[in-house]
Amino acid sequence: MTADLSVRIGDLTLRNPILTASGTFGYAAEYETMVDFNKIGGIITKGISPEPRLGNPQPRIWETESGLINAIGLDNVGVEDFEQSKLDYLRKIECAVIVNFFAESAEGYAKLARTLGAMAGVDALEANISCPNVKAGGREFGVDPVAAAEVTIASREATNCPLIVKLSPDVSNIGDIASAVADAGADAVTVANSMPAMAIDIESRRPRLSFGRGGLTGPAVRPIVTRLVYESAQATDIPVIASGGASNWRDVVEFLLAGASAVQAGTVNFVNPRASVEMAEGLETYCRQSGINSLTQLVGAVDMP
Ligand SMILES: Cc1cc2nc3c(=O)[nH]c(=O)nc-3n(C[C@H](O)[C@H](O)[C@H](O)COP(=O)(O)O)c2cc1C
């Protein structure tokens, strides 16, 4: 018997809960020879902005003992080029295509949500309200429930496309933000973006990254994100998508038990490009061997003291 691993995000059904995280999977074509898109639930594109962006100057990645600090600065081709040069390929791949996007104002988010949401081949949108690596926009929307709700309402009114809102981990009560965004009409929340961080070269006494600070991702953040996923799932009824440090199917099961309905593979793609497929296959085997026939038996099933 095969387990039903499907997941609903608004009107969208994913064949299984494994997604690839924005910014770690390019525009999917880059992984064509390594990843069988048929085996995963969906891919999430690099964050798209109204205009093309070069991002921050190098160096913009620093490897730590158990993760990465990045300050890419949302380098991307912009919405026009995305439609012209990336979308044809994405229309052909056999998994959900979720487009991550961001702007500098609620109106900017609404305009982009309208444009992207109307493109054939775009199955869902993920609004990034939480990037720590830019001077304008990004994180300031994600740390305040009112601003987070404003961006969500504006985006929601602009499109019927399933809307995921990606939250910041850098808040004292993520449940407040998750429930504000859910009340504002989001179909799901992603928990969470990279964790504000910093590394210094002791010889030069200068930061390792040109931007000064950056965002930590990878295995180092996973226990923190597990707690944030748990708190978000307790605070809202919409699906929570875990993003932070998942490396294998065991991590996926742990996130599901904490309350996630889906899990993103991010930094691990740089170490093992097939990680997302291996997670999906491992989850399937685990469910079969444990007599689990639906993910609902796992989601939020942590036995808390
Ligand atoms: C190099 C890099 C670029 C990223 N770019 C984006 C981005 O454009 N938009 C976004 O919402 N998140 C971006 N992220 C955050 C990831 O999507 C993900 O939420 C984060 O890395 C945590 O998951 P992980 O620990 O599995 O990598 C980026 C992360 C990395 C490492």
- According to the 3-state scheme, what is the secondary structure of 209-271? CCCCCEEEECHHHHHHHHHHHHHHHHHCCCCEEEECCCCCHHHHHHHHHHCCCEEEECCHHHH
Angle at which helix 222-235 crosses helix 174-183, to 10 degrees, equals 50
Q: Could you tell me how many residues make up the chain? A: 305
pLDDT of residue 276: 98
Atom of ligand 1 nearest to the CA of 128: 11
State the pLDDT at residue 85.
97
Is residue 1, in this structure, part of any structural domain at all? no
CA angle 146, 151, 153 (to 5 degrees): 90
> How high is the pLDDT of residue 131?
74
- What whole-number distance in Å separates Cα of residue 254 and Cα of residue 88? 36
- Which residue is listed with tokens 């965004």? 181
In total, how many domains does the chain have?
1
**Shortest-distance Cα residue to atom 10 of ligand 1:** 22
Q: Quick one: average pLDDT of 88-97? A: 97
- Is 161 tagged catalytic? no
Range of the domain at 289: 7-297
CA distance 12 to 51: 28
Given a cut of 80, whether residue 135 has pLDDT beyond it is no
Query: Degrees (nearest 5) of the Cα angle 191, 194, 189?
Result: 20
Percent of the chain with pLDDT over 90: 93
Q: Report yes or no on 303 lying in a domain.
A: no
Residue 108 lies in a domain: yes
Average pLDDT for 45-71: 96
* Half-sphere exposure of residue 77: CA atoms within 13 angstroms, side-chain side: 14
Question: In this predicted structure, what is the pLDDT of residue 275?
Answer: 98
Q: What is the pLDDT of residue 11?
A: 97
Largest CA distance in the chain: 60
Instruction: Give the N- to C-terminal CA distance of the chain in Å, as an integer.
Output: 33
pLDDT averaged over every residue in the chain: 96
Q: For residue 55, is it within any domain?
A: yes
Residue 305 inside a domain? The answer is no
Query: Rounded to the nearest whole angstrom, what is the distance from the C-alpha of residue 289 to the centroid of ligand 1?
Result: 32
229 occurs within a structural domain? yes
Question: Residue 263 domain-assigned?
Answer: yes
Helix axis angle, 249-258 to 275-290, nearest 10°: 70
**DSSP label at residue 5:** -
Q: Within 10 A of 29 (CB to CB), how many other CB atoms are there?
A: 15
Q: Which residue has the higher pLDDT, 132 or 84?
A: 84
Task: Read off φ and ψ for residue 96, nearest 5 degrees.
Answer: -65, 145
Residues with CB under 6 A from ligand 1: 21-24, 46-47, 68, 70, 72, 74, 100, 128, 131, 166, 193-194, 217-218, 221, 243-246, 266-267
pLDDT in tens, 33-50: 999 999 999 999 999 999
CATH of the domain at 22: 3.20.20.70
User: Which of 18, 20, 24 best tests ligand 1's pocket when mutated (most atoms within 8 Å of CB)?
Assistant: 24
Buried-exposed string 195-221: b where 16+ CB fall within 10 A, e elsewhere: bbbeeeeeeeeebbbebeebbbbbbbb
Question: Which residue, chain included where needed, has tokens 């007599």?
Answer: 291
- Compute the half-sphere exposure of residue 83: CA atoms within 13 Å on the CB side of its CA: 12
Ligand 1 centroid vs 101 CA: distance in angstroms?
12
**Rg of the chain (C-alpha set):** 18
Q: Which residue has the tokens 């869902």?
A: 124
Q: Tens digits of per-residue pLDDT, 100-133?
A: 999 999 999 999 999 999 999 999 999 999 877 6
Question: What pLDDT, on a 0 to 100 scale, did the predictor assign at position 141?
Answer: 86
Residue 235 pLDDT > 70: yes
Does 74 reside within a domain? yes
> What distance in Å separates the CA atoms of residue 215 and residue 196, rounded to the nearest whole number?
4
Task: Give the pLDDT confidence of 239-295 residue by residue, as tens digits.
Answer: 999 999 999 999 999 999 999 999 999 999 999 999 999 999 999 999 999 999 999
Q: Give the per-residue pLDDT at 3.
A: 85
